[in-house]
């Protein structure tokens, strides 16, 4: 688990060996979406292109022209695709939009407020609908 690239998000987000708040707080629909995103069970370029043996640095975002790796961090915070930017502003608290980093992503993925979790899940649902 410590060396497997597929476990990167688990190592980043999992803070303790306990039931996560989102598993109790979110309705089934959003719980599933949030779970799939956190466990890399999605069709974002970082995962989809891995299945074809493409090197990690070549799994870039196909929605914007930044040539960033198309991973969870990119779509949550950096992608400049206009519909995604609009939805991001509507769904994420402003604190997370400025100077995004891994610490903020970790904080966001472990947020406990039902309202914020629901908004985040809606945003993730939108991201995943693009692929």
Band of the pLDDT at 7, cuts 50, 70, 90? low
**Would you say 8 and 96 are in contact if contact means Cβ atoms under 8 Å apart?**
no
pLDDT tens string 74-88:
999 999 999 999 999
Could you tell me how many residues make up the chain?
A: 131
pLDDT tens digits for range 44-66: 999 999 989 999 999 999 999 99
Other C-beta atoms closer than 10 Å to the C-beta of 42 total 18
Q: What share of the chain is helix, strand, coil (3-state, %, to 5)?
A: 60, 0, 35
Q: Which residue has the tokens 């597929």?
A: 6
Looking at residue 19, its pLDDT comes to: 77
pTM of the shown model: 0.87
């Amino acid at each position: 688990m410590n060396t497997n690239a597929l476990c990167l998000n688990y190592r980043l987000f999992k803070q303790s060996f306990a039931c996560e708040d989102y598993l109790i707080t979110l309705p089934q629909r959003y719980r599933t979406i949030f779970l799939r995103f956190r466990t890399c069970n999605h069709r974002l370029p970082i995962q989809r292109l891995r299945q074809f043996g493409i090197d990690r640095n070549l799994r870039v975002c196909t929605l914007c022209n930044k040539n960033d790796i198309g991973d969870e961090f990119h779509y949550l915070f950096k992608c400049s695709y206009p519909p995604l930017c609009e939805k991001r502003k509507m769904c994420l608290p402003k604190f997370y939009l400025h100077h995004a980093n891994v610490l903020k992503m970790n904080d966001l993925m472990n947020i406990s407020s039902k309202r914020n979790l629901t908004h985040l899940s809606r945003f993730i649902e939108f991201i995943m609908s693009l692929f």
